[in-house]
Amino acid sequence: MTGIYEEALYGLAAGDERVVVMTAENRAPIRGLAERLGERFRDVGIAEQTLVGAAAGLALQGRIPIAHALSSFLTMRAFEFIRTDVGVAHLPVKLVGSAAGILSEANGPTHQALEDVGLMRLIPGMEVFCPADVEDLALGLPAIVASPAPAYIRLNLRPPAMTHELPFEIGRAELVERGSDILILCAGALFREALEAGRRLADAGLSVGLVNVRMVEPLDEGPILDAMRGAALTVVVEDHFLRGGLATAIAELLAAKGETAAVVPISFSDRWFDPALLPRALEAAGLDGPQLAGRIQKAWRERRRTT
């Protein structure tokens, strides 16, 4: 699935001289671009701060740098460079964090980046794109790159879980399914599991809605609130810490609008997850489709008991 992203990126770079593809020696998703882009491919080596600083310098000169590094080191080690050089100046640097969250698989807590979305959301004006799969990523890339704002892309090269046909716009979510009992809001790599869980719950007779949130910043406030109002229970599914991620963004949205809703977050709350290859990591974390359906159903029953 690497090829889909690489081709999408190459297409953008080939059509726009301003695009410079950069990496801090994180070449797996863009291995073929060094040769194809020549001087407009820039590898700084294992130096994330310099990656971000140099990207800011290129953007200052009118370029659109698309800078790749492992998410943990990009968003945490280089955080102050992102905040100060990219954020304060509001430069159109596009940061691509790989192996974030559950996609870090067996790497362990050093690589898990369960904080990245929260950190990037703290930077005023930063757009945060958490694609549902590689097709969603490729669909969103042109708009993200064309936007004059800085952006963080939580790289997700998982195979498409469904066909994403809606046009991609900055700050717009994809409403996959409407439902009156439960609404599932999902941003990122767990979309396939959320989709499967929703289908299982629908098979069990529940009316289940699903939103591919796509962008946590800016959040598609109106349609998300509408969908939440139409469902008895909202469940947020994300491979991120509870603090700072999508669940927090939803809580902030409700507070800002003075609305209330029953919301159950399925996020990482108090610890990093047990490292393993993806299927086993999902299973161990209770995030594979069947377990996710079970957790949502349990929340639904508890909700029914108390209301």
Q: Which of 55, 66, 117, 246 binds other proteins (CB under 8 A)?
A: 55
Distance of alpha carbon 22 from alpha carbon 80, whole angstroms: 19
**88 binding other proteins? (CB under 8 A):** yes
Local structure of 125: helix, strand or coil: coil
Stretch of 77-85, 96-104, 161-169, 273-281 contacting other proteins, by CB under 8 A: 77-85
Decide: helix, strand or coil at residue 181.
coil
Which one, 50 or 147, has the nearer CB to other proteins?
50
| Site stretch for other proteins (CB under 8 A), options 37-45, 126-134, 159-167, 282-290 | 37-45
Q: How many of the chain's residues bind other proteins (CB under 8 A)?
A: 28
Indicate whether 124 belongs to the interface with other proteins (CB under 8 A). no
35 binding other proteins? (CB under 8 A): no
DSSP string of 217-284, one letter each residue = ES--HHHHHHHHHTSSEEEEEEEEETTTSHHHHHHHHHHHHT----EEEEEE-SSPPPP--HHHHHHH
Cis peptide before 218 (omega within 30 of 0): yes
Q: Which amino acid is residue 9, in one-letter code?
A: L
Helix orientation angle between 221-229 and 246-257, rounded to the nearest 10 degrees: 80
Q: Are 93 and 84 in contact (CB under 8 A)?
A: no
296 binds other proteins (CB under 8 A): no
- Of 55 and 161, the one with the shorter C-beta distance to other proteins is 55
Task: Return the residue of 28, 60, 122, 255 that touches other proteins, per CB under 8 A.
Answer: 60
CA gap 83, 52 in Å, rounded: 10
Spatial distance between the Cα atoms of 97 and 117, rounded to a whole number of angstroms: 10
Q: Is 84 a binder of other proteins (CB under 8 A)?
A: yes
Kindly tell me which residue out of 40, 111, 200, 214 binds other proteins, with binding defined by CB under 8 A. 40
Q: Does 8 bind other proteins (CB under 8 A)?
A: no
Q: How far apart are CA 145 and CA 279, in angstroms?
A: 32
Residue 49 interacts with other proteins (CB under 8 A)?
A: yes
Q: Measured from the CB of residue 51, what is the shortest distance to other proteins in angstroms?
A: 8
Residue in 56, 145, 266, 299 binding other proteins, rule: CB under 8 A: 56
Indicate whether 63 belongs to the interface with other proteins (CB under 8 A): yes
* Cβ 253 vs Cβ 221: under 8 Å: yes
Taking CB under 8 A as the criterion, the residue among 10, 19, 37, 65 binding other proteins is: 65
Binding site for other proteins (CB under 8 A): 20, 39-40, 42, 44-45, 47, 49-50, 52-63, 65, 80-81, 84-85, 88-89
